[in-house]
Chain A
């Protein structure tokens, strides 16, 4: 016990100006690539456009002018009327939406991780919990970004937002989507304002943020007076949050990801998105922890704690693969056209085709083989490599979940996507480290801190 008192000391993470400068440089590089990518996409868009119709025409008059051409053109036109903006703009919306979902996942997993630790009364993680907690600070920002992107680009991202789909007199009338309309528009008329959808978005973010605030409040209050009651309160909030998150994460996945392919559905899609978020979030926690430790903080965190996180990443990479395969195998076996179309669109078209297979290599084969030995999970270099692989891999996973449904054959991974993602990375790191520097790095009065100090596996 005397061991503990000598090792624990108050410690604050200092967000140094040079770290901030590095983050700004990262964001600037991202912005530069993004702008370059946009110009590139605009130019190639012009090129493509000149084949059939000038790009200015696409952006100006979308509906009227194209309707009265030959059948091939009508087909083309109907696609254009549904998805109005020029290709480069649609790519920006798609990438924004993908990164919003991806980074929201990392943020919410920060809170989820903390909640799991409390609900399961975990001891070993007492010394590292401030890092996932800081990641949770991203949640409100993610909510604002998503709402703005939805308002600006929702019409391009979500096929089901088009009024004609719900009008039985229209040529565009879609009986299947009309049947699902209540999920978005209830209690208003189908094709009006998707009040139910927006309500869910606001309520989910509201609830997540509320529980983030409550759990954080208890954790930080513990620093001040050291009362054990805060631990019990945090556990209570955590348990309630987990129940809410179990439902809301699944519904959010249908709303924000699965509804892009409006006709298609998969009953385990919620778990699939969660599995992808969870393993990415664990990798980000590990990367932050290793970075903070290498910067000279958290001396009491040793190979045993890193090992536990490594085991998490290893196990949940396999879990993700299990979910991925569970979804794929049933659709493959049943061979029902409206289900297989989802995978066909990914497996036949570029660039989704190479991403489809790369996804499995980055997210299953490499983590599985690289993290199999005990040493790989205990030493920072291998683990850091695997974390980066997993994060990039799941970025591609979300790319393939979101892009094929919006961009059809016009999708791409170029400077635009990479640049925008780098901006998100920079802002996410900034928000997390900034939040981390605001409170103590070590929960000095955590009732299980002693257990964490003597963690040995």
Chain B
């Protein structure tokens, strides 16, 4: 049966071995599709050569939206649409609006960040992320190499991963 995507999947038991393997195979010109690990591994991002995530920028933008929206809503509602006399204060006075503005900023930036993360990680509803090896959620580190990205053959890549300390090398097709 023909598959669209063909992967070689290396399984690693130890994170230090994994990080060194990533560094070494990348040096040899291998292009890694993705690495999955059950816990955050220090230095893995740098070894994979990933750029810094732009998620904080998204979070800032969502937060800024929240700030503006909260301020606008309160000033418009309490200042113009339905002015109320609260302790003789000005209708559109800033201090009492700050707590709500703060909370709404946090809310939008948190929700926005989580939703953005789920979408870019393909974990949105009805988006099924590829499972290279279910043990990556338990005790194994999984390195996936896309055959289409590399000139090397399946066997050469397998041998390379074995040499770098992979405890087993599998194939996975989608």
Contact = CB atoms under 8 A, between A and B. Distances in A.
Interface string A316-335: 00000000010011001101
B55 to A, nearest CB: 11
A51 interface: no
A333 B43 CA distance: 50
A372 interface: yes
Contact of A329 (B56, B60, B88, B99): B99
B43 A373 contact: no
Interface in B55-105: 56, 60, 87-88, 95-96, 98-99
Contact of A335 (B43, B52, B87): B87
A456 interface: yes
B159 to A, nearest CB: 31
Contacts of A329: 95-96, 98-99
Contacts of A72: none
Contacts of B60: 372
B42 interface: yes
B42 A333 contact: no
Contacts, number: 20
Interface in A325-352: 325, 328-329, 332-333, 335
Nearest to A334: B87
Interface string B19-61: 0000000000000000000000011000000001000100010
Contacts of B96: 329, 332-333
A456 B87 contact: no
Given A372-B60, A374-B56, A456 B98 contact: no
A372 B105 CA distance: 15
Interface string A371-396: 01110000000000000000000000
Interface string B126-154: 00000000000000000000000000000
A369 to B, nearest CB: 10
A456 B60 CA distance: 25
B52 A328 contact: no
A456 to B, nearest CB: 5
Contacts of B56: 372-374
Interface in A358-377: 372-374
A329 B95 CA distance: 6
Contacts of A328: 95
Contacts of A332: 95-96
Contacts of B95: 328-329, 332-333
Nearest to A332: B95
A101 B103 CA distance: 34
Nearest to B57: A373
B99 A333 contact: no
A374 B87 CA distance: 43
A374 B52 contact: yes
A4 to B, nearest CB: 16
A328 B95 CA distance: 9
Nearest to A322: B102
A456 B99 contact: no
Nearest to B59: A372
Contacts of B98: 325, 329
B111 to A, nearest CB: 19
Contacts of A335: 87-88
Nearest to B94: A332
A289 B42 CA distance: 25
B42 A456 contact: yes
Nearest to A369: B60
B113 to A, nearest CB: 14
B56 to A, nearest CB: 7
Interface of A: 325, 328-329, 332-333, 335, 372-374, 456
15 contacts: A325-B98, A328-B95, A329-B95, A329-B96, A329-B98, A332-B95, A332-B96, A333-B96, A335-B87, A335-B88, A372-B56, A373-B56, A374-B56, A456-B42, A456-B43
Given A333-B96, A373-B56, 9 more contacts: A328-B95, A329-B96, A329-B98, A329-B99, A332-B95, A332-B96, A333-B95, A335-B87, A374-B56
